[in-house]
Structure 1
Amino acid sequence: MTILNRIRIALLSIFLAGFTIVFLGSHYIADWYFFSEVGLRHVFITRLLSDGGVRLAVISFFFLFFFLNLLFSTRSLNFTPVSSRESWTLKEYLVNRFITRRRLIIFYLAVSLFGAFFFSPLAAGKWLLVQQYLKAGNFGLADPLFHRDIGFYVFKLPFYRFILSLLVTALIGAALVTGFFYLLFAPKEFLGLRQGVFSRHHAHFSILIALLFIVQAWGFRLKALDLVRSPKGLFFGAGYTDIHVLLPGYNILAAISLACALLILLNTLRRNFKLVVAGIMAFLLAYILIVFILPATVQKFQVEPNEFVREEPYLRFNIEYTRRAFGLDRIKTQEFPARDSLTPADLEQERSALENIRLWDYRPLQQTYSQLQEIRSYYSFKDIDVDRYILDNRLCQVMLAARELDQEKLPDRAKNWINERIRYTHGYGLAMNPASAITSGGQPQFIAGDLPFQSNVGLQLNEPRIYYGELTGDYIITGGREAEFDYPSSSGDNFVENRYDGSGGVPLKNYLRRVIFAFRFKDYRLIASKEITPESKILYYRQIQERVRKIMPYLHYDNDPYLVIAGGRLYWILDAYTLTNMYPYAEPAEEGFNYIRNSVKVVIDAYNGTVNYYLIDPDDPISQTLAKIFPGLFKPITAMDSEIKQHLRYPPELMTIQAKMLANYHMENPMLFYNKEDAWNIAEEMVGNERQAMEPYYTVLRLPGEVREEYILMLPFTPARRVNMVAWLAARNDGPNYGQLLLYTFPKNRSIYGPMQIEARIDQDPVISQQLTLWDQHGSQVIRGNLLVLPIRESLLYVEPLFLQSQESKLPELRQVIVAYGEKIAMANTLDNALKAVFGEKLPAPPIQETKPFLPPNGNLATFIQEANRLYNEAQEKLKQGDWNGYGENMQKLGRLLQEMQQNIQP
């Protein structure tokens, strides 16, 4: 072979090796670039090294354990060749033809290595468990049974169970493998077919089985400790049967396991198999008796006839620890009188609360946003968020949504690689309306929106582009030869272009990176495209839920991130929770965990993609442990920008979980709890034609005893078997009071209307029900909005908006508002008129004034022209179809819109 050919082969080998490395490592390399981009490289390194270290340790353990056992077995095997062919057994044939001691050792190495890798999945994902064990913190609270800190159960017990599973698997695996070779090479000796022979085979195998019993004895001790999470009894946690039968039973089984191990070890000397068999049979019988028969017998004949007396002490533990685990012990309870003494003067003094009543239900409002503010078919509003802003020096509750670019909605002719990866890269701005304001046409009063972004209340948005959001699923390329599509121009079919200049993304500054990402995303065009330049960047993990989970998958994230304007930029705020199912005596929630804290707030920049984790509950031991594992990841809440901090809010998902637990665990008296005498349910309402549990809702009101209004999240309760209201839960959101939970209970000597009773009164009111029936008969669908229960001045006000939607239209209109107070109920076209109908004409000046409709500055008529064109085109379509009613309805809407234009737009 010539030198040139050798060089070619060497270069080809290097190329193939590099290709293989890049192909197999592209995911890791791409993740390395990603963590470098967000400034959290140390998190990736910690995870990679910890996971690799645990996997290596587990593989090494299995390899050494298997190999040492196999190596020991060679000492008791005879490898002397047999000369006579007539007497060959299988062993002798293998020894004569194939096996030498050296070859067998090499084979054992291979078998051990295979076994180690075969069992290595046991280590998958266990590195965090190991790290938590090494850096475990304390809860500062001991369990009531064994008096161990709860941190032992959350951080250490799972690690011990992991070690136990490794030991049991290793011992059983080694016994099976060595047993196979003993059967292969010395079947008569191993099976005891030769009388009186007790060889090293038996001794070795006996030691493995004895070790298995010793390990199992430790397993029974762990089972005994884990009884504080027993799910078998009347409640979660160790009950009477667990403590009086299973606890001593597990200790007895541990002792029997040790005795069996001792018998097996002694048998290697005395060689009495009957004694070993008797010991193992005694263990099996004891296990069946203690684990199955005795607990069922004691439960049925001793506990059930006098259940409460037997279980009361342990029921107290369950109540106490469940309340602690879900934060219910922090709730402050007081009575709410629910008087019928509200006057028009009182309403005037509560003007701010009335101005912020959320009339817009997010479900029909999302359809309205889609019709009026998406502008183009490829824009989309994923959901509607609720928040509060200081507008015109007053607190205003608003509804808002991000206008994101949904590439799935691009026209088919535009769905190509250039458009989806380089041209159509980002959403633009948002739409916002006050939660209580409506136009004369029943539409929301937009105070921000349009393209380009406009606001008539002074909201500043210096960077409206959304590169990271809820709908941004695929990777994109910025800095290409062509500029990016920014937003459609108001004139004709033109559009405005933009070039990304943010800090997000990974530079594609050389060809190797393009190759890496081509492998990572399985897209050859990243290599072949001429649109990519050395200045280009690739932005990936842009979907914010995916982004935060990639960085820190060890938190549970809320399903509903919400958008915030702060400092002229758009940010997403996402609530993150620490969970565990290892909390002693705490009843699990429906989702399976029995401890939860909203300990972290995550803030994501919608333009740059930067991610910051803020520790809002530094007393949570789980987040403290995570902070030790990932130093520098969590920032103190004091480091959060003050303008962003003003938009922190208590998560509805957490309140729903706590409310479901509070429905029973507000009863701290064990007798009441046992009999469920005062059990609650989350109040129900009508949504469409279905009855369902109410969702927590935000509102602005002045809590009893407070001097000013604040932003709260609240949820009403009803008794378990009735529909009257019994209490309401409030979470405070502002300033130093953030996170405080308040429970207001109603007097027990009278009945307070619950939401479903108000719904029934609406259906039974002759005027309202007749009007609803009439609308339904004229081709319109009546949509009931959220029924809001509003505590005002120690009284309760009920408000429900009604939306009308024609069968042909997807544009619901808020047309009526129902107000109920005491025995009075009324429906009117505005909240002001409904309040007047309930409280009389003496009501002072209207508490809610329609704000000026959102208009683009400088006489820009794009918004009105677009809506007018839509109404006119729809009218013409209905005219062609012979739908005269629909035609007339659209023309009426068009007339109202033209009147608004004439009144509000200056020439």
Structure 2
Amino acid sequence: MVKNRFLLIAAVAVVIILFLSSLLNFYTDWLFFVETGFASVFTTTLAAKVGAGLVSGAILLIFALVNIHYPNRFTFAPRNVFFEGGNLYRLQRDEAARLAAPLSILAAVLLALMAGRWGALQWQNVLLFMNGVTVGTNDPVMGKDLGFYLFTMPLLEYARGLAGFMVLAVAALSAGVYYVRGGIAVTESGVSIDPRARKHLAVLAGLFSFTAAAGFYLEGYRLLLSGSSTFHGAGYADVNARLLTYRILAAVTPIAGGILATGIWKGSRRMALLPPMLLAVVYGVGIMAYPVLLQKFKVAPNELAIETPYIENSIKFTRFGYDLDKIETIPFDADLKLTAADIAGNDATIRNIRLWDHGPLLKTYSQLQQIRTYYKFFDVDNDRYLVNGQYSQVMLSPRELSYNDLPSRNWINERLIFTHGNGLTFGPVSRISKEGLPEFFVKDIPPVSLADIKVKRPEIYYGELSNEYVIVKTKVPEFSYPTATGNINTTYGGKGGVPLDSLVRKVLFAALFKTEKILLSSDITGESRILYYRNINERVKAVAPFLRFDGDPYLVVADNGTLKWIIDAYTYSDRLPYAKPLAGGINYMRNPVKAVVDAYDGTLDFYISDPDDVIIKVYARIFPKLFKPLSAMPEDLRRHIRYPHQLLQVQAAMFATYHMTDPKVFYNKENLWEVPVLGEERMEPYYTIMKLPGETREEYILLLPFTPSKRDNLAAWLTARCDGENYGKLLAYTFPRDRLIYGPKQIDARINQDSQISQQLTLWSQRGSQVIRGSMLVIPIEKSLLYVQPLFLAAADKAGLPELRRVIVAYGDEVVMEETLELALQRIFGGRRVPAVATAAAPEAVNGSSAELAREAMAIFERATNLQRQGDWAGYGEELRKLQQVLRQLAR
């Protein structure tokens, strides 16, 4: 009795130690969800985890205890022989009986805990099953609504797996108890089993046959998720051989299991061995041999004719899985009739051609605007704003705090003083200074605006580089930004974080972050708040782990001067029948959610941008307080939502094949496309502002060209619209197949073959400069195509500052390289005046007559004088810059 109590106490102690960390995370996560206002999400998820875990663990525990009750109740003669050091000895029956019962109960508890943990991990499948909806489309083979595969089948597979594990584990445990107690004997003459033990194990064998039958039944559905080299999904051999065999196996396996159980019950080896052998034969013939023969001798000689219905299924459901059906295909009859008037009529498109590449610009921003070593520009984002009344494409980069680069790394500096980044750098995509450097709309610390974009709350407490936690509102002033005369300090005034207003919370957070300083620091007061989950990617995943988030969050300057992060979120599944999967197995993907994180106080909002997505419909039913309609998003943020770069990449990869909807064309791969390759990398979608064919105004789009498979000429270009009511519309413009339309690789080859360009590049390289060739951009204008590629120069060492020194433009058979895009266009189009794209002059000033330019110069001078009187020196400087550009035009 004493030993049994000791074993029980030891087991409880182990469980407490193992779960102490989980309990700590549980409480701090609860505080986080309360802080963000999503406590209902936490409780719903917790209820599902606890419910699924308890049910799974309880079922296994009850089943195990019932089954080990019998071997522990029976008494057997001590017949087992054990070997130790070559000497035979017998284990006394009373000692075996005393150890078998508590150890088997402990083993049952451990198995139940394993099952409970496994079950808790299925919380998402449980919630999807309980709240699943019908899609309204049935699969073509089983006739099941797609909702069965998306929301029901995952839980059925788990239940089947749990049942199989439970029966096998309990059978092994029961056999072990029988062995220890003498019901199963290993003697010199062989293995003998007591009739009572044999009958018990026979029942378990019969039960296992039902789980095997369920597995065969579900395998029939999984055939629709399989694939072949020609198409994905069940083909002729699968439907007419494997599916039939799985149905037969699902029906006869319980019968075979009954015969097996009877044979074991009666001790008949022949009766016990015959059913498994017959099932193995049926499986080998029906699943492995016959389908292969059917494929080789019937399907392969007439594959197109026989597989056509199944190819149609694969095309239909793959297009549904990646939302390709919404792509509108439009013929684009490209010509070479572009004139200077067309260029002038598309001045907004020309003005917003992106000359600055992300890589060189990030390096340039880092050297010009990093200001201090402990600041860092992590990424450059692309967006559009209305700047000084002009719809402009811009590139911006947040200035975050890099904790790895602090001059003195200690706990007080990292957690109490250096708590946040400061502001951003923000400029146009195409304008350059005389030195080949970018111009700025917003720069410096604190942010100085040279346009009508104002940053009033520049602090970045939540970002992509933020560390694990900081503590604000302490006795130690927070560092805000440096000045020429000293550092400026601040005190956090937001509502983010959890108050450290009790000793218990200090102890808990000290344990969570493994530091006693939180508990012992005299700088922390009752008003102090601890900010954690500060990395925005981790923050959104903590609230909505069932979504997949885009790896490229982007920062937005709201109209009120605050900074907001926008992160695209995806729903996904690997259960859509007949849909071709990605490398990770996903074959259904949508972007129905836009997550917004306030950079100052960490406030989270999740907006549904695609209410038609069937999976987000279910999650909205599960978490009704988590999601808001897109109409609830502030208008100033709605203007900055964009079609995700990552999603268009995925859709383009699929559309390259699945734009072919005719099964014969698909089978023969007659019109297979691919994304162009430049150098060693495939082109990526790029954002630009342009006027789409047939439209009356420019808009912000995401664009990616296609070439025919293993060819370099252009086949089509795919675009995703981002603005207003047109958001999310996909258009594929296809080029004529009967004539050559130059592709990016061909243009690249012609640039390399141009003697003047190659001579200049060689000269620069010989002088110790590094020549960086930027992205090749294909810019459709009217019915023609412009190709634009910037050239950057940098010192050969790592500290080199990239400068935009040349712009290459190709049109038709002409390739030119000039200092600016404007000059390159003037050369191509006969030297006639085109919009100035590398200056800040207004379009009307650029395109006007001398008299108009003079009137514009006078108007700018008057505005500058008024701003000078008002003391608006930033505006005064901007107007002087505009005046300079107009005077340059007059001089020309």
Same fold (TM over 0.5): yes
TM-superposed CA distance for 1:284, in Å, is: 1.9
Does 2:613 align with 1:615? no
Q: 2:343 maps to which residue?
A: 347
One-letter code aligned to 2:816: A
Asked if the contact 1:334–1:743 (Cα under 8 Å) also holds between the matched residues in 2, the reply is: yes
Distance 1:259 1:832, change over 3 A: same
Does 2:440 align with 1:446? yes
Distance in 2 (CA, whole Å) between partners of 1:565 and 1:650 is 18
Distance 1:790 1:267, change over 3 A: same
Matching residue within 795, 798, 801 for 2:790:
801
Distance in 1 (CA, whole Å) between partners of 2:812 and 2:104 is 85
Q: 1:667 maps to which residue?
A: 660
Matching residue within 347, 360, 366 for 1:364:
360
Q: 1:601 maps to which residue?
A: 594
Does 2:108 align with 1:109? no
Distance 1:443 1:325, change over 3 A: same
TM-superposed CA distance for 1:649, in Å, is: 0.3
Matching residue within 476, 481, 488 for 1:487:
481
Distance 1:593 1:797, change over 3 A: same
Matching residue within 808, 827, 832 for 2:817:
827
Does 2:520 align with 1:528? yes
Deviation per CA, 1:460-484, whole angstroms, max 9, x where unpaired?
Answer: 2221110000110221111111211
Distance 1:481 1:274, change over 3 A: same
TM-superposed CA distance for 1:20, in Å, is: 11
Asked if the contact 2:146–2:576 (Cα under 8 Å) also holds between the matched residues in 1, the reply is: yes
Deviation per CA, 1:335-370, whole angstroms, max 9, x where unpaired?
Answer: 111111111111111111111111111110011100
Secondary structure of the corresponding residue to residue 339 of structure 1? coil
Distance in 2 (CA, whole Å) between partners of 1:754 and 1:194 is 77
Matching residue within 784, 788, 806 for 1:816:
806
Distance 1:77 1:300, change over 3 A: farther
Does 2:179 align with 1:183? yes
Q: How does 1:677-692 map to 2 (within 5 A)?
A: 677-685=670-678, 690-692=679-681
Distance in 2 (CA, whole Å) between partners of 1:523 and 1:331 is 54
TM-superposed CA distance for 1:72, in Å, is: 2.8
Distance 1:183 1:603, change over 3 A: same
Distance in 2 (CA, whole Å) between partners of 1:80 and 1:822 is 95
Distance in 2 (CA, whole Å) between partners of 1:80 and 1:582 is 54
Does 2:275 align with 1:279? yes
Distance 1:652 1:389, change over 3 A: same
Secondary structure of the corresponding residue to residue 27 of structure 1? helix
Matching residue within 445, 469, 473 for 2:467:
473
Q: How does 1:197-276 map to 2 (within 5 A)?
A: 199-232=195-228, 234-267=230-263, 272-276=268-272
Secondary structure of the corresponding residue to residue 643 of structure 1? helix
Secondary structure of the corresponding residue to residue 130 of structure 1? helix
Query: After alignment, is 227-236 or 64-73 more displaced?
Result: 227-236
Distance 1:426 1:194, change over 3 A: closer
Distance in 1 (CA, whole Å) between partners of 2:295 and 2:96 is 63
Does 2:287 align with 1:291? yes
Distance in 2 (CA, whole Å) between partners of 1:591 and 1:110 is 39
TM-superposed CA distance for 1:531, in Å, is: 1.4
Secondary structure of the corresponding residue to residue 403 of structure 1? strand
Distance in 1 (CA, whole Å) between partners of 2:20 and 2:176 is 41
Deviation per CA, 1:471-528, whole angstroms, max 9, x where unpaired?
Answer: 1022111111121110001x24x11111000011111112221111000000111111
Distance in 2 (CA, whole Å) between partners of 1:75 and 1:380 is 71
Distance in 2 (CA, whole Å) between partners of 1:21 and 1:122 is 15
TM-score (norm 1): 0.87
Secondary structure of the corresponding residue to residue 595 of structure 2? strand
Asked if the contact 1:604–1:610 (Cα under 8 Å) also holds between the matched residues in 2, the reply is: yes
TM-score (norm 2): 0.89
Asked if the contact 1:334–1:745 (Cα under 8 Å) also holds between the matched residues in 2, the reply is: yes
Secondary structure of the corresponding residue to residue 802 of structure 1? strand
Matching residue within 581, 591, 595 for 1:588:
581
TM-superposed CA distance for 1:19, in Å, is: 12
Distance in 2 (CA, whole Å) between partners of 1:197 and 1:604 is 66
Q: How does 1:379-778 map to 2 (within 5 A)?
A: 379-411=375-407, 414-489=408-483, 491-492=484-485, 494-566=486-558, 567-685=560-678, 690-778=679-767
Secondary structure of the corresponding residue to residue 573 of structure 1? strand
Distance in 2 (CA, whole Å) between partners of 1:99 and 1:608 is 63
Q: How does 1:842-857 map to 2 (within 5 A)?
A: 842-844=832-834, 846=836, 848-850=838-840
Q: 2:845 maps to which residue?
A: none
Deviation per CA, 1:851-872, whole angstroms, max 9, x where unpaired?
Answer: 69xx9997999xx9xxxxxxxx
Distance in 2 (CA, whole Å) between partners of 1:508 and 1:275 is 71
TM-superposed CA distance for 1:217, in Å, is: 1.1
TM-superposed CA distance for 1:199, in Å, is: 2.7
Asked if the contact 1:826–1:838 (Cα under 8 Å) also holds between the matched residues in 2, the reply is: yes
One-letter code aligned to 1:704: P
Asked if the contact 1:445–1:851 (Cα under 8 Å) also holds between the matched residues in 2, the reply is: no
Distance 1:109 1:343, change over 3 A: same
Q: 1:323 maps to which residue?
A: 319
TM-superposed CA distance for 1:298, in Å, is: 2.3
Secondary structure of the corresponding residue to residue 99 of structure 1? helix
Distance in 1 (CA, whole Å) between partners of 2:229 and 2:70 is 48
Asked if the contact 2:398–2:425 (Cα under 8 Å) also holds between the matched residues in 1, the reply is: yes
TM-superposed CA distance for 1:795, in Å, is: 0.8
Q: 1:40 maps to which residue?
A: 38
Deviation per CA, 1:637-660, whole angstroms, max 9, x where unpaired?
Answer: 111001000000001100001001
Q: 1:162 maps to which residue?
A: 158
Q: 2:128 maps to which residue?
A: 132
TM-superposed CA distance for 1:96, in Å, is: 4.1
Distance 1:487 1:96, change over 3 A: closer
Secondary structure of the corresponding residue to residue 718 of structure 1? strand
Distance in 2 (CA, whole Å) between partners of 1:517 and 1:111 is 35
One-letter code aligned to 1:453: P
TM-superposed CA distance for 1:74, in Å, is: 4.2
Distance 1:232 1:211, change over 3 A: farther
Secondary structure of the corresponding residue to residue 761 of structure 1? helix
One-letter code aligned to 1:570: L
Asked if the contact 2:263–2:270 (Cα under 8 Å) also holds between the matched residues in 1, the reply is: no
Deviation per CA, 1:792-814, whole angstroms, max 9, x where unpaired?
Answer: 01111111111111225521111
Deviation per CA, 1:410-464, whole angstroms, max 9, x where unpaired?
Answer: 12xx211111111111111111111111111111111111111111211122211
Identity %: 41
Q: 1:869 maps to which residue?
A: none
One-letter code aligned to 1:505: G
Distance in 2 (CA, whole Å) between partners of 1:749 and 1:55 is 63
Distance in 2 (CA, whole Å) between partners of 1:198 and 1:482 is 77
Secondary structure of the corresponding residue to residue 97 of structure 2? coil
Distance in 2 (CA, whole Å) between partners of 1:698 and 1:54 is 45
Q: 2:10 maps to which residue?
A: none
TM-superposed CA distance for 1:665, in Å, is: 0.7
Secondary structure of the corresponding residue to residue 56 of structure 1? helix
| Structure 2: runs of 5 or more not aligned | 1-14, 80-87, 843-863, 878-883
Asked if the contact 1:23–1:516 (Cα under 8 Å) also holds between the matched residues in 2, the reply is: no
One-letter code aligned to 1:815: R
